[in-house]
């Protein structure tokens, strides 16, 4: 028997048999006399009542069945109480063999089907009556309804909503029943049984429901270890989106704080993997107290590998890949796009913490390299990087200095950088970092082709020095400048701080620490003194004045050797 929750069940009646035009009134009356006797024999009751929300009287009336067929189901409709008078009038008219003209039957609010063959109790509420409590009333009175209908083996009947035994409404009811059992007096055995069922529970719950179960277990003297095992096995079966759409509330800080007060230790991050991957959020880590760093590190590596695999599969199938994943890579994608990543990062093993922290800082210079944002605060990636580093507990003096160098490479000076980060670091660390920066000479090392991407305009802060005609006419200007710099030795002795690194003869990387190497380059790293054709020399934005004045003096020395007293 087909049944749709959004349509009233209409049984197929052989209207031709009822409405034969040649039948007399007496024959029609005789037909209905037999038909109503048939219905009376099939239906235990023509109608019954149950109590609804706030004591509302809910009246159910039998539906029609196929005449002269062995019925396997009983159908009842929830209608207004006045429908009973309509049914009386219709029956009286039919038994007189008269046509009944009034077809105002009233709306069907809900339907019940008792499938005796398959032992199923099915019900549904019409869409425009949902929220009136009719579904809950039917569910809570299911046993009473089966008693009214004379069903003696009611324990064998399966409850279904819209022909589904896995309907969300039933899940909600099962959850309420499980939680309701926690309102009894504390009892260790009862609490352990509830935890056992909860551990294997397939239904989505609210965190407040989980709190009720944990609270009852603690009051019933169940060990913390047993509670943690049940929570890990259940894997916090909470779905924020479903909760928000169906129940109107989501996981909130009050529920999280209440859970944390229980002091449950031994909860694993690995049990929450599906939440992390689905919602791109580590918010559930707020529930963990005393996180096991080995477990959290294992979960991070698992997420990272799964993300890489998904990315590779998407590439093979030419599917959409998020821009951040394309631009920055998997780790940067987690750092920038996932919610609450710092909750995971602060619980990683130290070695992996250093890798993630370094990666977050190194990625910082990739954002807005052309200085398009008015301030650093206008760049969303900057704000996210600050937030992650701060909340993970990584925003210290060393992080401040490293980030400053990246900001310098992005064409921001110390004042601009400091204003953007001041609220994300404690005052002492900030003061110490600024003092160290001011006591040293920090030089930019832009990773972008700044000399090509800019039009050498002043608003990009590119310093430009004109080359005297006397020197241009001699040719090999850059080489002459380099040789003069080496001869004077000033640049080699000038110690600087920069991100610039090269590769030594032994194959090992080394940090550039002097102005000469910064100007002219080292193996695997181009120099920062750039020729603009044959007319001028340019330096990256934020180049200290000392370097520019030194080159100006060298150009003068080379152009007028007799005046300067220096020869070539």
Of 372, 437, 370, which Cα lies nearest the Cα of 402? 437
pLDDT of residue 460: 67
Q: Token pair of 459, please?
A: 């608003």
Residue 144, C-beta contacts closer than 8 angstroms, at least 6 positions apart: 50
Structural domain boundaries in the chain: 15-165, 166-267, 269-348, 350-439, 450-564
The three-class DSSP label of residue 361 is helix
Q: Can you tell me the distance from the alpha carbon of 35 to that of 328, in angstroms, rounded to the nearest whole number?
A: 76
Contacts 24+ apart (CB under 8 A), 517-524: 518/443, 518/445, 518/547, 519/482, 519/485, 519/491, 519/547, 519/551, 520/482, 520/485
Residue 555, C-beta contacts closer than 8 angstroms, at least 6 positions apart: 465, 467, 468, 471, 481, 537
Kindly report, residue by residue over 292-301, the tens digit of the pLDDT: 999 999 999 9
Averaged pLDDT, groups of 10, the chain, 568 residues long: 37 48 83 90 93 94 75 89 88 88 78 94 94 95 96 95 91 94 96 96 89 97 97 86 44 86 97 92 93 97 95 92 88 93 96 96 85 80 94 96 95 93 95 97 85 55 88 90 94 96 94 97 93 89 95 91 50
pLDDT of residue 449: 65
pLDDT of residue 100: 78
Kindly report, residue by residue over 175-197, the tens digit of the pLDDT: 999 999 999 999 999 999 999 99
Of 436, 431, 438, which Cα lies nearest the Cα of 544? 438
pLDDT of residue 9: 37
Question: Cα dist. 519→369, 385, 566 in Å?
Answer: 21, 31, 22
Return the number of other C-beta atoms located less than 10 Å from residue 207's C-beta. Answer: 22
- The CA dihedral of 93, 98, 102, 104, to the nearest 10 degrees, is 60
Specify the pTM. Answer: 0.76
pLDDT of residue 5: 37
């Amino acid at each position: 028997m087909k049944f749709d929750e959004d349509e009233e069940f209409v049984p197929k009646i052989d209207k031709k048999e009822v409405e034969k035009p040649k039948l007399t009134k007496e024959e029609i009356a005789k037909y209905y006399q037999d038909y109503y006797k048939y219905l009376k024999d099939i239906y235990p009751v023509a109608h019954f009542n149950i109590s609804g929300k706030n004591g509302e009287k809910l009246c159910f009336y039998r539906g029609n069945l196929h005449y002269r067929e062995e019925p396997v189901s009983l159908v009842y409709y929830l209608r207004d109480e006045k429908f009973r008078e309509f049914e009386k009038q219709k029956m009286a008219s039919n038994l007189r063999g008269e046509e009944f003209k009034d077809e105002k039957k009233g709306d069907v609010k809900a339907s019940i089907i008792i499938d005796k063959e398959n032992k199923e109790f099915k019900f549904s509420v019409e869409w425009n009556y949902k929220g009136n409590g009719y579904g809950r009333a039917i569910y809570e009175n299911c046993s009473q309804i089966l008693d009214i209908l004379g069903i003696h083996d009611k324990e064998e009947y399966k409850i279904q909503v819209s022909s589904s035994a896995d309907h969300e409404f039933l899940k909600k009811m099962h959850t309420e029943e499980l939680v309701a059992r926690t309102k009894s007096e504390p009892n260790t055995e009862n609490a352990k049984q509830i935890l056992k069922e909860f551990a294997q529970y397939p239904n989505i719950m609210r965190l407040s429901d989980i709190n009720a179960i944990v609270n009852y277990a603690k009051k019933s003297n169940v060990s913390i270890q047993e509670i943690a095992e049940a929570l890990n096995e259940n894997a916090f079966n909470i779905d924020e989106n479903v909760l928000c759409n169906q129940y109107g509330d989501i996981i909130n800080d009050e529920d999280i704080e209440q859970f944390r007060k229980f002091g449950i230790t031994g909860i694993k991050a690995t049990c929450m993997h599906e939440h992390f991957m689905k919602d791109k959020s580590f918010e559930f880590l707020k529930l963990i107290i005393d996180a096991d760093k080995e477990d959290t590190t294992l979960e991070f590596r698992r997420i990272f590998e799964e993300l890489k695999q998904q990315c590779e599969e998407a590439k093979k199938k030419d599917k959409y890949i998020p821009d951040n994943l394309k631009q920055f890579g998997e780790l940067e994608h987690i750092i920038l796009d996932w919610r609450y990543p710092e909750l995971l990062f602060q619980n990683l093993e130290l070695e992996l913490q250093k890798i993630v922290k370094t990666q977050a800082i190194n990625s910082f210079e990739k954002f807005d390299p052309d200085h398009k944002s008015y301030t650093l605060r206008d760049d969303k990636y900057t704000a996210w990087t600050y937030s992650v580093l701060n909340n993970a507990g990584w925003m210290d003096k060393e992080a401040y200095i490293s980030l400053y160098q990246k900001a310098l490479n992005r064409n921001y000076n110390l004042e601009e950088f400091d204003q953007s980060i001041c609220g994300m670091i404690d005052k002492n660390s900030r003061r110490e970092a600024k003092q160290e920066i001011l006591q040293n000479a920090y030089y930019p090392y832009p990773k972008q082709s700044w000399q090509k991407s800019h039009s050498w305009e002043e608003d990009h802060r590119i310093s430009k020095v004109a080359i005297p005609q006397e020197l241009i006419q001699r040719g090999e200007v850059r080489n002459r400048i380099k040789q003069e710099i080496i001869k004077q030795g000033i640049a080699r002795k000038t110690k600087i701080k920069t991100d610039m690194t090269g590769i030594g003869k032994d194959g090992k990387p080394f940090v550039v620490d002097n102005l000469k190497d910064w100007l002219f380059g080292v193996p695997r790293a181009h120099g920062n003194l750039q020729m603009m054709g044959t007319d001028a020399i340019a330096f990256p934005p934020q180049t200290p004045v000392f370097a520019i004045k030194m080159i100006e003096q060298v150009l003068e020395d080379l152009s007028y050797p007799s005046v300067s007293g220096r020869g070539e």
